[in-house]
Each structure stands twice: as structure tokens, then as C-alpha cells.
Amino acid sequence: MKKILVLNGPNLALLGTREPEIYGRTTLADIVALVTAAAQEKGISVDAFQSDVEGELVAAIGCARGVYDGIILNPAAYTHTSVALHDAIKASGVPTVEVHLSNVYAREGYRHESLTAGVCAGQICGFGPAGYVLALEALSRGR
Ligand code: DQA
């Protein structure tokens, strides 16, 4: 494992101020710095990208094949709606770990279904920013 992509979906650029009682006060830049530091210790380099636009996330996953050894993906609300992201993850063949800061299963019913988790290597949710580091650990260990 040499290179991973940390991909974040809609509204996650607002972390730090967005519903802090649910998502905490850590910013997205802090999370990327956290994962990057943990990855550096393993000799893994990190690129990070956030978009509110579904098609941009689809395109980023589409371009990941042959470039990245793994993807840490928080699809945010698209988790629950996006067949396009499901298809992109499946088509890319790049091992992907789905991360959610909050425990989506302890929240509204419409957050209980993930259209993307089934084509990911696994899902980590409910551990806040640490989930991204746990995802890195999972990707670097493989199966
Ligand atoms: C989230 C959970 C989603 O249900 C929600 O739409 C988000 C953030 C999380 O990280 O907990 O935007 O993915």
C-alpha cells in the first residue's frame, strides 16, 4: 500500500461548525492532517478531495484505478441515495472503506441504508475522526 485517496462528500467541508453536537468540532482539514500523519508513519502518501457534487465524486473514484491502492470514502448524504457512487466503487476495483463520523444506525431511519457499503471492503461508523485512521489501518492490513 503506497498511496490512498481520502474522499469526502457533501457538507463535510463544513465540519467544525456543522451540527457539532453530532459531528464534533474537528474540521475536515484536521481530519486530513490526522490521516496523513498516520499514513506517513506507514510510508503511505495521501491525497484528499472533497466535493458537494455527486458527479465529481464519481469521477474521482473513476480516476482512482491504477493510481491509488485504497480509498477512504465518506459519501455523506450520497451514502443513502447514490446508485452512481455504488457503481463507481464497484467499477473502480480499488479497495474502499466507507467511513461515517456519526453512528448512522442510531439516527433517522433513512440513514440506516447505505447504497455504497455493499461494494466497499467494509464500513466504519460512529467513532468520529478516529474512523478515518481506523479505515487507514484496515486498508493497510488488507484481508
Ligand atoms: C455522515 C452521515 C450521513 O448520514 C450524513 O448525511 C452526513 C455525514 C457521517 O459522517 O456521519 O453528511 O456521512
- How much is the pLDDT for 122? 98
Among candidates 5, 33, 31, which has minimal Cα distance to 18?
Answer: 31
Q: Is 26 in the pocket of ligand 1 (CB under 6 A)?
A: no
Q: Is 115 in the pocket of ligand 1 (CB under 6 A)?
A: no
CA 123 / ligand 1 centre spacing (Å): 13
CA 111 / ligand 1 centre spacing (Å): 8
Rounded Cα gap, residues 132 and 70, in angstroms: 12
Q: Is 59 in the pocket of ligand 1 (CB under 6 A)?
A: no
Q: Is 64 in the pocket of ligand 1 (CB under 6 A)?
A: no
- How much is the pLDDT for 142? 87
Q: Whose CA is nearest to atom 9 of ligand 1?
A: 100
Cα separation of the two ends of the chain:
13
Rounded Cα gap, residues 74 and 99, in angstroms: 5
Separation in Å, CA 89 to CA 8, 79, 108 = 14, 12, 25
Rounded Cα gap, residues 133 and 125, in angstroms: 12
How are beta strands 70-74 and 96-100 bridged, if at all?
parallel
- How much is the pLDDT for 143? 72
Structural domain of 83:
3-140
**pLDDT tens track, the chain, 143 positions:** 899 999 999 999 999 999 999 999 999 999 999 999 999 999 999 999 999 999 999 999 999 999 999 999 999 999 999 999 999 999 999 999 999 999 999 999 999 999 999 999 999 999 999 999 999 999 999 87
- How much is the pLDDT for 108? 97
CA 112 / ligand 1 centre spacing (Å): 11
Structural domain tally of the chain?
Answer: 1
Q: What is the CATH number of the domain that holds 117?
A: 3.40.50.9100
- How much is the pLDDT for 135? 98
- Angle 67-29-80 (CA atoms, 0-180°, nearest 5)? 70
pTM higher than 0.95:
yes
Which atom of ligand 1 sits closest to the CA of residue 76?
13
- How much is the pLDDT for 34? 98
Q: Is 36 in the pocket of ligand 1 (CB under 6 A)?
A: no
